[in-house]
């Protein structure tokens, strides 16, 4: 009962394509793929040896797991449109409460904590999956499903998951934007970005080894207003970057002063 034998995939986007193929290649049976666009549903279904459907009424009621792999703003609507089923209905979002699935008797979350890019396969065995359900049996079913493709299932409730998602925005999206700004400043100085490579590598090496709260350096940590004002002047043509500079510096200065 705690092992998942058949899965219905709902959605035909990037995550649906990648995750469902990985599940299928790990001895799980995908029996249906639902998509608003039947051509996309059929395309994915063919890859999985499944049936493509675009009508919710065609959903088989006896799959063990219904994975809703659609964008955050569509999850609740999809859940409402999905007929009542016996199986477990789960979504894969970091930010949506499991209550979005409340129409259904058995609900859960199956959230891969990874950022997926075009054209690159994820390193699935290392991808952490956050699973949640109110029922221990359903939680085990989700954990066992994760274990087919990854060694890293974590039990994470709704509140923890939203905090983790926030953390992931800082760790991935914001670090990326800050690096993008750093790179642009370097290019504006007409210097090759390679000049920053050793510093970037060192930053990264330390981030993986040390507690970043301990290893903070720089003008803001020293509350060196003269340097900070010079940098703000350099950023004069980029008011958004100035605001970022001010806010991060204020946060650093405040933390290390107190």
Query: What part of residues 230-249 is at the interface with a second copy (CB under 8 A)?
Result: 230-231, 234-235, 240-241, 243-248
Among 62, 77, 121, 202, binds a second copy (CB under 8 A): 202
Closest distance between a second copy and the C-beta of residue 27, in Å? 23
Check residue 105 for interaction with a second copy (CB under 8 A): no
* Closest of 102, 73, 90, 181 to residue 129, by C-alpha: 90
Among 55, 84, 119, 208, binds a second copy (CB under 8 A): 208
Instruction: List the structure tokens of 37.
Output: 């666009």
Give the nearer residue to a second copy in terms of CB position, either 38 or 200: 200
Instruction: List the structure tokens of 76.
Output: 């609740």
Give the nearer residue to a second copy in terms of CB position, either 38 or 95: 95
User: Quick one: DSSP state of residue 37?
Assistant: S
Judged by CB under 8 A, the stretch of 22-30, 50-58, 74-82, 206-214 that binds a second copy is 206-214
Among 53, 113, 139, 142, binds a second copy (CB under 8 A): 113
User: Pattern 63-82, binding to a second copy, x per CB under 8 A?
Assistant: ---------xx---------
Closest distance between a second copy and the C-beta of residue 212, in Å? 4
Check residue 59 for interaction with a second copy (CB under 8 A): no
Q: What angle do CA 29, 150, 91 make, to 5 degrees?
A: 65
Consecutive H or E run containing 24: helix 14-24
Among 226, 237, 257, 258, binds a second copy (CB under 8 A): 226
Footprint (CB under 8 A) of a second copy, residues 119-178 = 123, 126-128, 130, 152, 154, 156, 159-178
CB 63 within 8 A of CB 87: yes
Q: Strands of the chain (E only): list them.
A: 6-10, 29-34, 51-53, 65-68, 88-91, 107-112, 129-133, 153-155
CB atoms within 10 A of CB 30: 23
* Closest of 254, 228, 255 to residue 242, by C-alpha: 228
Give the nearer residue to a second copy in terms of CB position, either 47 or 168: 168
* Tokens 């499991």 -> residue: 98
Looking at the DSSP assignment, which residues form a beta bridge with residue 32? 8, 51
Closest distance between a second copy and the C-beta of residue 218, in Å? 3
Looking at the DSSP assignment, which residues form a beta bridge with residue 154? 130
């Amino acid at each position: 009962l705690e092992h998942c034998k058949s899965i219905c995939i709902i959605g035909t986007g990037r995550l649906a394509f990648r995750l469902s193929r990985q599940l299928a290649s790990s001895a799980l049976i995908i029996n249906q793929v639902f998509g608003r666009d039947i051509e996309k549903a059929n395309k994915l279904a063919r890859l999985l040896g499944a049936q493509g459907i675009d009508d919710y009424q065609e959903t088989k009621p006896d799959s063990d797991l219904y994975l809703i792999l659609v964008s955050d703003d569509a999850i609740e609507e999809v859940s409402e449109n999905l007929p009542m089923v016996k199986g477990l209905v789960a979504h894969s979002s970091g930010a949506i409460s499991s209550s979005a699935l409340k129409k259904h008797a058995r609900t859960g979350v199956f959230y891969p904590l990874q950022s997926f890019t075009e054209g690159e396969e994820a390193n699935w065995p290392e991808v952490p999956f956050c699973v949640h359900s109110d029922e221990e049996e359903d939680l085990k079913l989700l954990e066992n499903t994760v274990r087919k493709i990854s060694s890293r299932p974590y039990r994470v409730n709704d509140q923890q998951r939203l905090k983790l998602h926030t953390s992931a925005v800082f760790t991935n999206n914001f670090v990326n934007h800050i690096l993008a700004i750093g790179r642009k400043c370097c290019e504006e100085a007409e210097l090759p970005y390679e000049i920053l490579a050793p510093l970037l590598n060192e930053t990264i090496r330390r981030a993986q080894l040390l507690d970043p709260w301990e290893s903070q350096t720089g003008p803001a940590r020293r509350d060196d207003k003269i340097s900070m004002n010079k940098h703000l002047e350099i950023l004069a043509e980029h008011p958004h970057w100035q605001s970022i500079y001010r806010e991060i510096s204020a946060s650093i200065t405040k933390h290390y002063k107190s």
